[in-house]
Amino acid sequence: MRVSFVKMHGLGNDFVVLDARVQPLPPITAQLAAALANRQQGIGCDQLIVLEPSTRATVKMRIFNPDGGEVSACGNATRAVGLLHGRDATIETAAGLLTAKPHDSGPAHGSITVDMGAPHFAWGSIPLAYAMDTLAMPVGWPIDETHALENPVAVNVGNPHAIFFVPDTNAIPLDRLGPIIEHDALFPERVNVNVASVTSRTTITLRVWERGAGLTLACGTGACATAIAAMRRGLTERRVTVTLPGGDLLIEWTPAGTILMTGPATISFTGSFESTDYGAAQ
């Protein structure tokens, strides 16, 4: 079976997008998702995105990490789907209904705003393995003999995030600590690990270890969770620019309680592949 795809990215967080609405697709298994995401032997991406018909939204979006696991939310991918649709859209995800609005003019021209819904803070909604204060979690992980990464904020924005505020994000060995924290028993569904520095009342710098994907140039849900964590701690205003290695996202916590994320998305190229080359059945 020959399958067409669109390769896209949001600030360097890249996706292979398959659209079941316009072509038949092979069964999307964990093995197929992992094979397509492989950067040496596949197409290569941070997430495989599968679009399907929806009975309650413009489109249904499914998200697969490079380890083959399916996850509930991806902010950058939601913007990419909004760009593909080309006009206002409602997107069904496992985390709920999201809305995407492309901007064709004005200061935000060329970007897409996504309403990511309301954040969740209760320990059981993250989820954590046991009850604790999610605004200042009394836990930590050693960086070296004298320093620890500790007292994170936990936020669920469709997927679970732990946010650590540090003086210098580049001083944290996130490539080493990320997988340790991700797989800690405290997080029964694993966790995305964010290290952030608040640089002013309206700006934050951020690096993210993404659950099932590793270090990433950008993480939309990570930017949302980090901004909300900073706001809850009183460190920033309710509208901030979050700077990731791949670029900037504008995050706003609205009076209605939902999160608006605004940023770019880009089509890199299109192509096709033979599904049987990746172990899929015809």
Residue written as tokens 């469709």?
158
d(CA 151, CA 233): 12
Record the tokens describing residue 119, joined without a space. Answer: 């954040």
* CA 119 from centre of chain: 14
DSSP string, 77-105: HHHHHHHHH-S-EEEEETTEEEEEEE--S
Question: In the chain, which ranges are continuous DSSP H helix?
Answer: 30-37, 75-85, 174-182, 220-232
CA distances from 79 to 13, 60, 267 (A): 11, 14, 11
**Phi, psi (rounded to 5 degrees) for 51:** -100, 135
Q: Is 162 helix (H, G, I), strand (E, B) or coil?
A: strand
Residue corresponding to tokens 């072509």: 23
CB of 280 closer than 8 Å to CB of 29: yes
Q: What's the one-letter identity of residue 259? A: I
Give the residue from 155, 126, 154 showing the smallest Cα distance to 138: 154
- The 3-state DSSP class for residue 159 equals coil
Q: Which backbone phi and psi does 269 adopt, to 5 degrees? A: -170, 170
Distances (CA, A) of 179 to 104, 141, 208: 40, 12, 11
Name the residues annotated as catalytic: 74, 219
